[in-house]
């Protein structure tokens, strides 16, 4: 299927590895020009080289990168100094650490909200009007399945991402919807990423079990009986960014192998 977005420009955050990389790779393969952002300069540069060398990348698809912390004012300024206008924005920032809510002080909460709620809002604010003026725009926020089924040790993430979800629900149904701009959240369940390994390590330390045992037990709770891959996550993201997804907005798209037990 031709997604109809070749030649568009995309900003993909947290794209040096994991789900962000999966999204960037899928977009590049559709002929989208991407500007990828992450904090680690060395890994990010290697990722950009990998995307450029991808045999599935159309010759015209450009890959640029900025090593910056997108959760800071300075980091966002560095990105927009390279390019101001984007047709597609994929927001993504590393989730806050797991733990016991009794141990989190105000600073921990502010940091979580700043990274996982306020940063996406700032990126949306900076780009949607330009998208609306051009008659096309796609905002994809990578959040978490914990928005629908909260996980006790991920309270910081549960709270901050739920706040973003409520914000997006309103903005997606504003006049932007009639100007060709869609805003959706993509909710990953258990995907084979460093984030999953870190979370499972935290669970292992809490229960005293080996990490491999915790990972195996987690895998068995998923109807699909496996963890997702960044590549398939990226494919979902690319479709939501496509011309064919213009009637999908304000949605929380759950990709979790069937783990969420609810009907709605």
| Structure token pair of residue 92 | 């993504």
State the angle between helix axes of 106-113 and 155-171 in degrees (0 to 180), rounded to the nearest 10.
40
Sequence-distant (≥ 6) Cβ neighbours of residue 125 within 8 angstroms: none
pLDDT single digits (tens) 49-61 = 999 999 999 999 9
As beta bridge partners, residue 191 has 228
Q: What are phi and psi of 159, to 5 degrees?
A: -70, -50
pLDDT above 90 covers what percent of the chain?
84
- Over its C-alpha atoms, the chain yields an Rg (Å, rounded) of 18
pLDDT single digits (tens) 10-28 = 999 999 999 999 999 999 9
pLDDT single digits (tens) 138-176 = 999 999 999 999 988 889 999 999 999 999 999 999 999
| Structure token pair of residue 111 | 């940091």
Going 115 to 147 to 126 to 236, the CA torsion angle's sign is: positive
């Amino acid at each position: 299927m031709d997604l109809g977005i070749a030649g568009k420009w995309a900003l993909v955050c947290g794209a040096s590895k994991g789900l962000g990389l999966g999204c960037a790779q899928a977009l590049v393969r559709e002929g989208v020009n991407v500007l990828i952002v992450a904090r680690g300069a060395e890994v990010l540069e290697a990722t950009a080289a990998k995307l450029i060398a991808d045999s599935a990348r159309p010759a015209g698809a450009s890959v640029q990168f900025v090593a910056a912390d997108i959760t800071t004012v300075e980091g966002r300024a560095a990105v927009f100094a390279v390019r101001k206008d984007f047709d597609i924005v994929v927001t993504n920032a590393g989730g806050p650490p797991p733990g016991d809510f009794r141990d989190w002080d105000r600073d921990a909460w502010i940091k979580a909200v700043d990274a996982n709620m306020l940063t996406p809002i700032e990126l949306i604010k900076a780009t949607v009007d330009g998208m609306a003026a051009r008659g096309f725009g796609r905002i994809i926020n990578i959040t978490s399945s914990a928005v629908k089924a909260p996980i006790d040790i991920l309270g910081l993430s549960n709270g901050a991402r739920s706040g973003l979800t409520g914000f997006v629900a309103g903005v997606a149904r504003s006049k932007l919807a009639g100007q060709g701009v869609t805003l959706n959240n993509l909710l990953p369940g258990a995907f084979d990423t460093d984030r999953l390994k870190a979370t499972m390590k935290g669970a292992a330390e809490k229960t005293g079990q080996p990490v491999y045992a915790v990972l195996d037990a987690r895998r068995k709770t998923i109807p699909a009986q496996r963890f997702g891959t960044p590549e398939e996550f990226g494919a979902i993201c690319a479709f939501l960014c496509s011309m064919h997804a213009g009637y999908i907005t304000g949605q929380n798209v759950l990709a979790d192998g069937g783990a969420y037990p609810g009907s709605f």
